[in-house]
Amino acid sequence: MHAGCPGNRGSGTVNRIRLTENAMSDRILINDMKAPLDLKRTAEYMHISEDSDFYDELAEAVEKANEVARPRAVLKWVDVDEIGDGYAVLDGVRFDSRVMADKLKGSRKVFFFAITAGDEVQNDGDIEDSMGVLKDMLTSQVLGAAYAEMMKYVRDTFGNQKIAFMTPGSLPDWNMQNNFALIGAIGGVKEDLGITMNPTGAMIPFQSGSGIIFADDTGYTNCSLCRNLDCIGRRVPFDESEYIRIFGEAPGDQKV
């Protein structure tokens, strides 16, 4: 699972929203996000039973994580300037992607977004991590909860049309390098969220994400076109016929 993918940790396709124009200022910072982890759900995700010796450590860690975690996101409401053969121009930025051109056909507005679980859980010295993976898994869960909260915010604030999101890095023709243009177009992401990028376009903190939220009636999720077939976060099966419809050929063996 790519770091920025919410995978099965959060809700990718969400209910109903109407993306009306002139409904908002074009940039929204959500820095007081309430996305607490649920102990039972976290234990299930980590395959830890209540009888396990580790359960008490987990319970303490979840409580502490909920005290310190500060997930946050920025949304930017932008124009779809042009859709062409295998590309889309959004907010003046051209993205060469057949998936995007296909999915945004007919859309006039979309949201850019950047989101992060932050590094507060990773850096907290009071969270005991005897297994060496607990903080990573908790941070991953925080990001999933933050995704669900961000989508709920959009749904609750702007109406009732179905929406979905796509993220760079998990789609065959929208790789991580697209983060540079996307994050640049959102602007202020480092200042507002503390997110930076390495030369490949991967975001730091590691459990951060970015992408586009768009109106969608089909129940689209990135996973349906992602060739990372053994990903533990996969939410829906790979859809080979849809892949062939968009890309004109069956996927090769190479993973994204």
Interface residues toward ligand SF4, by CB under 6 A: 1-2, 5, 7, 170, 222-223, 226, 228, 231, 233-234
How far apart are CB 9 and ligand SF4 at their closest, in Å?
A: 9
Can you state the percent helix, strand and coil of the chain, rounding each to 5? 30, 20, 45
How far apart are CB 222 and ligand SF4 at their closest, in Å?
A: 4
Spacing of C-alpha 157 from chain mean position: 19
| Contact yes or no for 67/37 (Cβ under 8 A) | no
Instruction: 92-95: list long-range contacts, CB under 8 Å, 24+ apart.
Output: 92/185, 93/181, 93/182, 93/184, 93/185, 95/174, 95/178, 95/181, 95/182
Q: Which is nearer to ligand SF4, 204 or 256 (CB)?
A: 256
How far apart are CB 11 and ligand SF4 at their closest, in Å?
A: 13
| Contact yes or no for 76/112 (Cβ under 8 A) | yes
How far apart are CB 256 and ligand SF4 at their closest, in Å?
A: 7
Q: Which is nearer to ligand SF4, 205 or 209 (CB)?
A: 209
How far apart are CB 231 and ligand SF4 at their closest, in Å?
A: 3
Q: Tell me which residue of 148, 145, 121 sits closest to 133, measured CA to CA.
A: 121
How far apart are CB 18 and ligand SF4 at their closest, in Å?
A: 26
Q: Tell me which residue of 91, 120, 127 sits closest to 194, measured CA to CA.
A: 120
Interatomic CA distance for residues 41 and 163, integer angstroms: 25
Which two three-digit tokens encode residue 193?
């969220």
How far apart are CB 201 and ligand SF4 at their closest, in Å?
A: 15
Q: Which is nearer to ligand SF4, 100 or 223 (CB)?
A: 223
Q: Which is nearer to ligand SF4, 58 or 115 (CB)?
A: 115
Phi, psi of 80 (to 5 degrees): -90, 105
Q: Which is nearer to ligand SF4, 29 or 229 (CB)?
A: 229
Q: Which is nearer to ligand SF4, 5 or 90 (CB)?
A: 5
How many CB atoms sit inside 10 A of residue 101's CB? 20
Q: Which is nearer to ligand SF4, 42 or 170 (CB)?
A: 170
